[in-house]
Structure 1
């Protein structure tokens, strides 16, 4: 098994404390406490402090004027070891999507300088501290969900945020709506000391990665792995084993990492899915991960595909017999 600390967006230093979410009065008291901390987001981007030790999430006091003026309900993220409440706030109202927020913010309240910026998670995910990544991913996922689920799927009525930000409740029919997570299988398909890699046409030059795809209703994880590999590359897969998972907040997926033993090796590529598909030896993957391969660049650092490939090269995941 791959340690959770090796996977970006897995883990958090907070207790999510679901037991407290239904206590509206208690939440209001925590939001009125200057000690409570709030992570600002703008257009899906968390605020980071760019410290000498790397980027860290930038937390404001719950009574900061920017937070008090936020028109959107805050999201309760949980409690730290000292019992301090942590929230997230969507400050997207501060500026239109095509303009930076700096000009709309009082710099005495929030210093958006060279060391404090709203940064896209995908752009910075390789450098995020493990203690912060899971918090940022969870908050981003909820805020993205709010953007696309503002109306009830049952009656069309307007939804209202409830349960400390973790639910929607229809004002018209009372139906409860919960955040959506879409499961995706991503697989290390092995033939001895070779792995199957694919490339999509829109990817950066030379980039190859593990095959992946969304699960369908009524499938097991194993069935989804076999179906996706067969559809995309024409390879039949036998034994499937789970190795790790990664929350992927772009917008709201759960990457389920597996290994699969190839039972056939002849590639029949689906041109609508893949621009290329190849078998690559372990020694070549090691070169690619080290940045020394002249043809293959692996999936970006922080993506679970690279974590799985590195674990295979290092022997954490055994090769297929």
Structure 2
């Protein structure tokens, strides 16, 4: 499986379609307990996600409804489910871990990590949106997990995705990096913030950089994006040119922000910085934004 599942969005509302796919004999179901995914224990790269059959489902989830992830090129359907018992014990040889730990330890392939992110974002949305925001009545899942419906007021609710602008700012041969109190010791990263209503991603990036560091930003270009299911963010990665140099930190947002020379950033990336400073891990879009700019 290459991880590029067909989500079949044009078929998910067809009568009987969901039940047919869920109960197909070779259907595979990933199971989360609380916010942790069942994966094979062992050295990095030795295992992967634990997949269950539809026959195992009643014991695992006790009535909660799985969400459809997609179908692979061999016609195998993939679902994800939230265990009703948040303390479900993993089977022998398995372990339940949060996605950050799974990614940092390299326990699943990049393709399966994308599936895990899709699954967690959908399942967490269902957990948090059991009631109608219009009338307060209970809602029910529909469209194979991509919609919730209120039968009281006929309201329809869809999974939310919160866009975040994250931007690497350069000025000559230097890059602006900052750190917040929640970062690992010695780690510096690009600046980021949520896109607000009525705002472009480019304007959000300029605003966040100015609010956090006092730096004005001119030209901005899009580089890449990354889903970040904590719980449902979409990181919009950009690069920008600073039009000012003096930093004024907002202490509510950052502990520190500095201009780092490209040579210093290379040292941070290869672990040779004299002060032990480091870049974000390579599971993050910030790491790849920095590396792409450094590689020209």
TM tier, smaller: over 0.9
> Which residue does 1:212 correspond to in 2?
192
> Which residue does 1:164 correspond to in 2?
144
CA deviation after TM superposition for structure 1 residue 23, in Å: 2.1
Provide closer, same or farther for how the CA distance between residues 263 and 287 of structure 1 changes in structure 2, counting only shifts above 3 A: same
SS of aligned partner of 2:164? strand
CA contact (8 A) 2:170 2:241 kept: yes
Provide closer, same or farther for how the CA distance between residues 202 and 55 of structure 1 changes in structure 2, counting only shifts above 3 A: same
Which of 265, 287, 295 is matched with 1:306 structurally?
A: 287
> Which residue does 1:319 correspond to in 2?
none
Gaps of 5+ in 1: 1-10, 103-110, 316-321
Which of 256, 262, 265 is matched with 2:242 structurally?
A: 262
CA deviation after TM superposition for structure 1 residue 227, in Å: 0.5
Q: Tell me the distance in 2 between the aligned counterparts of 1:13 and 1:65.
A: 24
After superposition, the CA RMSD in angstroms is: 1.7
What pairs with 1:107-118 in structure 2 (closer than 5 Å)? 112-113=91-92, 115-118=93-96
Q: Tell me the distance in 2 between the aligned counterparts of 1:32 and 1:183.
A: 35
CA deviation after TM superposition for structure 1 residue 219, in Å: 0.6
Query: Are 1:42 and 2:37 matched, yes or no?
Result: no
Which of 47, 57, 62 is matched with 1:70 structurally?
A: 62
Between stretches 43-52 and 70-79, larger displacement belongs to: 43-52
What pairs with 1:100-179 in structure 2 (closer than 5 Å)? 100-102=87-89, 112-113=91-92, 115-126=93-104, 127=106, 128-179=108-159
How does the TM-score come out when normalised to structure 2? 0.93
Q: Tell me the distance in 2 between the aligned counterparts of 1:62 and 1:269.
A: 53
CA deviation after TM superposition for structure 1 residue 68, in Å: 7.0
CA deviation after TM superposition for structure 1 residue 300, in Å: 2.3
Higher relative contact order (CA 8 A, sep 6+): 1
Q: Tell me the distance in 2 between the aligned counterparts of 1:194 and 1:271.
A: 22
Which of 190, 200, 205 is matched with 2:170 structurally?
A: 190
CA deviation after TM superposition for structure 1 residue 24, in Å: 3.8
Q: Tell me the distance in 2 between the aligned counterparts of 1:58 and 1:249.
A: 19
* Aligned pairs, number: 291
Which of 10, 17, 23 is matched with 1:19 structurally?
A: 10
CA deviation after TM superposition for structure 1 residue 65, in Å: 5.1
CA deviation after TM superposition for structure 1 residue 295, in Å: 3.8
Query: Are 1:33 and 2:24 matched, yes or no?
Result: yes
CA deviation after TM superposition for structure 1 residue 73, in Å: 0.8
> Which residue does 2:52 correspond to in 1?
60
Gaps of 5+ in 2: none
> Which residue does 2:258 correspond to in 1?
278
SS of aligned partner of 1:261? strand
Q: Tell me the distance in 2 between the aligned counterparts of 1:24 and 1:64.
A: 24
How does the TM-score come out when normalised to structure 1? 0.86
Q: Tell me the distance in 2 between the aligned counterparts of 1:24 and 1:284.
A: 59
Q: Tell me the distance in 1 between the aligned counterparts of 2:25 and 2:42.
A: 24
CA contact (8 A) 2:61 2:81 kept: no
